[in-house]
Structure 1
Amino acid sequence: MWRGLYTAGTGMITESKRTDTLANNLANANTTGFKRDEAISREFHPMLIKRINDGINHNDVTSFKQFHVGEQYPVVGTLGLGSYIDEIATEHSQGAFETTGNPLDLAISGNGYFAIQTENGVRYTRDGNFYKSARGEIQTVNGQTVLGRNGRGITIPQDTVSIMVGSKGEVYADNVQIGQLQFVQFDNRRAVLKQGNNLYYPQEGARPAPATGEIQQGMLERSNTNVVSEMVELINNYRMYEAGSKAVTTQDAMLDKSVNDVGRLT
């Protein structure tokens, strides 16, 4: 019975973590460049159950002092031991484009990331909602510098009338190229992990390469979260959690009866 409590409990913990993931997806449904997460669960290794003292002929000539040659206990089946969250995987499918007309709004079509300078080092993002600071430097909404190919920021002259950004990140001020954005990708999408604030950090040994995607100026890539699908999954997740809760209640009632009724001395 104790095993039943633990099995149901691990299921509830799994569904609780899945709920957190779904809630985070819904909270970022309108976040530019956000990629939804998927909680991947895995079952603990099941236990093989056999019946003991069943089907063995103890009068057999091969039996001697409770030792039996060639014992084959009948197999009952396997017993599940619960589940756990094995991985929080990020779905990198393309989000829809939204036209803004802002020359510093950049969307990525295909593979690629923008490089951002943060307090913790270089980070990567697909959020192309950029601004020009008071000093003319291209920055994120959080005031972080958007890096160019030379590893430094790009400064737009104060008297610039028109700003153009090419498909590979070339930045032009009044038709004069003033720099190029650091537009990169990683051969393995698992090479970068989410840090928070729509930023990714590279795993140890990951090396960026020139991106094969293209930059679309005057657009933003919306989140790839489908609100309807997430809500349906959230309802299903709630029912799974509720089933685990009922299983725990049932196991608790059985333990109560076995301790207080079956085990009572008369």
Structure 2
Amino acid sequence: MLRGYYTAASGMMAQQRRQESLSNNIANAQTPGFKQDQTSIRAFPELLIKRMESNELSTANGFRAPKNKTIGSINTGVYLQETIPDYAQGGLKDTGIATDMALINGTLPDETGSIFFTVQNAAGEERYTRNGNFTVDGAGFLTTNQGYYVLDNDGNPIATGGQTFSVSSNGIIQVDGQEIPLAINYSPNANDMVKDDENLFAMSEDGAAMEDARATAGLSYTVQQKYLENSNVDAVQTMTDMMRAYRMFETNQKVLQAYDQSMDKAVNQIARLT
């Protein structure tokens, strides 16, 4: 019976973590370039139960030979194994603002691949994003809304001097007769990336190195100026999943209450001395 407590409790904890992930998705439904998280729930490893006994042999010393009989396997519940970003393309929104840019996937050579803008975070490290909601800071550099520099193909901040510039379909910024290629990188397996703060992605330690999107064979994309890529969160589906997670949490809670009532009877009624 105690094992039932742990099984029901693990189900409640898994649904609670799933609800947290879904809540984060719905909270970012209007965040440009946001990629929703998908959760993976997995059962704990099964346990094999054996009955351990022994047979007494007719010997002078009364030797007992051990004997095991397999009863079967049991499962001890579930847990939320991981959250995986969904890199599907979001819809486009026309903003009419020159500093806004949207990355549009074309042909990707790898099924799990994805392309990103490259920025520099506060620690000077390269990070990657699909959020093209850029702006120009007081020094004339192109930045994210958090103030992180947008990088060019050489890894340097891009100086536009203002919002009077154009961006070609392959990501070349044209300002005052100068051409500055945006750093657009490609990950052959975007599942190797991990989410960082401020809607940014970082490469995991064992992930494949990022590639220059312009130099990757079989890759095509388009940069659309004055547009933003919307979040790929389906608000209606996410709300439905949140209700389902709540119902499953509630079901496990009722199972836990039933075990508690059975234990109460076992301790206070069945075991009562008369």
Relative to the length of structure 1, the TM-score reads 0.87
Q: 1:89 aligned to 2:95?
A: no
Q: 2:145 aligns with which of 132, 141, 144?
A: 141
> Which runs of 5 or more residues in structure 1 are unaligned?
none
SS in 1 for 2:119: strand
Q: Is the Cα–Cα contact under 8 Å of residues 156 and 178 in structure 1 kept in the other structure?
A: no
**Do the aligned partners of 2:152 and 2:181 also contact (CA within 8 Å) in 1?**
yes
1:109 to 104, 109, 112: 104
The one-character-per-residue Cα deviations of 1:104-131 (angstroms, maximum 9, x if unpaired) are 1111111311111112311111100111
Q: Shift of residue 34 of structure 1? A: 0.2
- 1:137 Cα deviation (Å)? 0.9
State how 1:1-266 maps to structure 2 within 5 Å. Answer: 1-48=1-48, 67=65, 75=71, 78-110=73-105, 111-120=114-123, 121-157=125-161, 162-174=164-176, 176-204=177-205, 206-211=208-213, 212=219, 213-266=221-274
For residues 147 and 28 of structure 1, the distance between their equivalents in structure 2, rounded to whole angstroms, comes to 25
Provide runs of 4+ in structure 1 moved above 6 Å.
Answer: 50-53
Q: CA deviation at 1:134?
A: 2.1
C-alpha contact 1:154 1:178 (8 A) present in aligned 2:
no
1:97 and 1:222 in contact (8 A); partners too: yes
Secondary structure of the 2:196 match is strand
> Equivalents in 2 of 1:51, 1:229: separation in Å?
48
Aligned length: 255
Q: TM-score, normalised by structure 2?
A: 0.85
Identity value in percent:
34
Gaps of 5+ in 2: 106-113, 214-218
What are the superposed Cα offsets for residues 56-99 of structure 1, whole Å, 9 maximum, x if unpaired?
Answer: xx9xx9xx977588x766x5x54321000111111110100111
CA positional deviation for 1:35: 0.3
> Relative to structure 2, which stretch is displaced further, 44-53 or 247-256?
44-53
**What's the CA shift for 1:215?**
1.2
Please give the per-residue CA displacement for 1:237-265, whole angstroms capped at 9, x wherever unaligned. 11100011011111111111111112222
